[in-house]
Amino acid sequence: MYFKLFILFFLSCFIGNAQSADSLLFQLNSIENDTESVNQLYIQGFSLRNSDPDNAWIFADACYKKAIKSNNQKHLAKAYNLLGILNYKKTHYLKALQYQKKALTLNQNIHNQAGCAINLSNLGNIYSDINYFKLAESSYLQALQLNNKLGNTKEITRCLINIAALKHTQKQDNAAVLNLKQALIYANELSDYELIATCNNNIGIALTSQNKLDTSLAYLQEGLKMRVLIDDEVDLANSYLNIADVLTKQKKYDEAINYISLADNSCIKYEIFDELVNLYSIKSEWFEAQGKYDSAITYLKKHQNLKDSLITIARENTELISNEEPFSDTEKEKTNYKIIALVALISLILGSITSYFIFRKR
């Protein structure tokens, strides 16, 4: 009897592990309770945002459709938030901004303070990346105030990370490190590996700016270790580049090129355009250090040309940021190229020069 039960348990586990995304999507869509269905679709989409972005989009789309069908403002706000997050991680800042503003309005209408805090944090991330620093700081501080009121330690931690990133961008690295070390304490208390990885990574970046290279490398490697542990494939490119930057500065060129190659693969695979510009810059420095000046100049030109073209596009299209309404599905195809060109690296007006901070969390 016990043997039969064991076999049944083993088979059920095997089948569960072999379950495809399509079958899981079907099951979650089939849940009759709209709230439970939306929540589970959201959780699945959010959990895949780093490890499997393509399937994350599929669950996000299903979450949105289910929310529309339910005619529930809270459900729709949740769906908009997820779409905003995924667009942000693809550096589609215009669409991310539109979705987060829509989600914030809905959450304000139903007095959902926790939802508002999340949306404000996400808006702060977007504003920071497109160099609207006053709006970014205002959004972060509003989110922090709400999270303190709610006693939400996890979101307080995110706010501290975001504020630190903003401080770093403004060359206030001592303040950045202080905020990050407090955030790291909270992250460790929560045993949240993703937040621990972000804190370590960003402390390393701030210390690199202060030329504390040995200490910064230790933090960056700890952040990389955590990102590997949680299969954070998208943000691995950032870790690789940060470590390569330090190793190049330390003249450890053989080690640096290994991380540059890893970053190159990730940037191409996941179309991480902002990191690609940083990659060109680091490659240029690496080749220059080897005395390979032709290659150094080639990559420097790639870095500068891509950055300059995106700055020009950003200046010409900044007025589009004020548009609050998300595009419909039919409009998506028509505007996809323009959005990618506009938002892919709008942050690099200053970002590629001053910061490698990545704090794309919510």
Q: What is the pLDDT of residues 296-319, one digit of tens each?
A: 999 999 999 878 876 665 555 455
Q: What is the DSSP string of 300-361?
A: HHHHHHHHHHHHHHHHHHGGGGG--SPPPHHHHHHHHHHHHHHHTTGGGGTHHHH-------
Q: What is the mean predicted confidence (pLDDT) over 216-232? A: 96
Q: What is the pLDDT of residues 111-132, one digit of tens each?
A: 999 999 999 999 999 998 888 9
Residue 58, both tokens: 């599929």
Domain spans of the chain, in order of start: 35-354
Q: Is the pLDDT of residue 22 over 80?
A: no
Q: Is the pLDDT of residue 324 over 50?
A: no
pLDDT bin (cut points 50, 70, 90) of residue 321 is: low
Q: Is the pLDDT of residue 5 over 90?
A: no
pLDDT bin (cut points 50, 70, 90) of residue 357 is: low
pLDDT bin (cut points 50, 70, 90) of residue 101 is: very high
- Indicate the range of 21-25, 75-79, 142-146, 200-204 predicted with least confidence: 21-25
Backbone angles phi, psi at 87, to 5 degrees: -65, -40
d(CA 140, CA 179): 13
Q: What's the mean pLDDT when you consider all of the chain?
A: 83
CATH topology of domain 35-354: 1.25.40
Q: Are 51 and 10 in contact (CB under 8 A)?
A: no
Q: What is the pLDDT of residues 228-272, one digit of tens each?
A: 999 888 899 999 999 999 999 999 999 999 999 999 998 888 877
Identify the pLDDT of residue 310: 63
Share of the chain above pLDDT 90, in %: 59
Q: Is the pLDDT of residue 290 over 50?
A: yes
Q: How far apart are the first and last CA of the chain?
A: 48
d(CA 120, CA 69): 26
Share of the chain above pLDDT 70, in %: 79
Nearest to 338 by CA among 358, 356, 361, 320: 320
d(CA 164, CA 166): 5
Q: Within 13 Å, how many C-alpha atoms sit on residue 219's CB side?
A: 23
Backbone angles phi, psi at 172, to 5 degrees: -105, 70
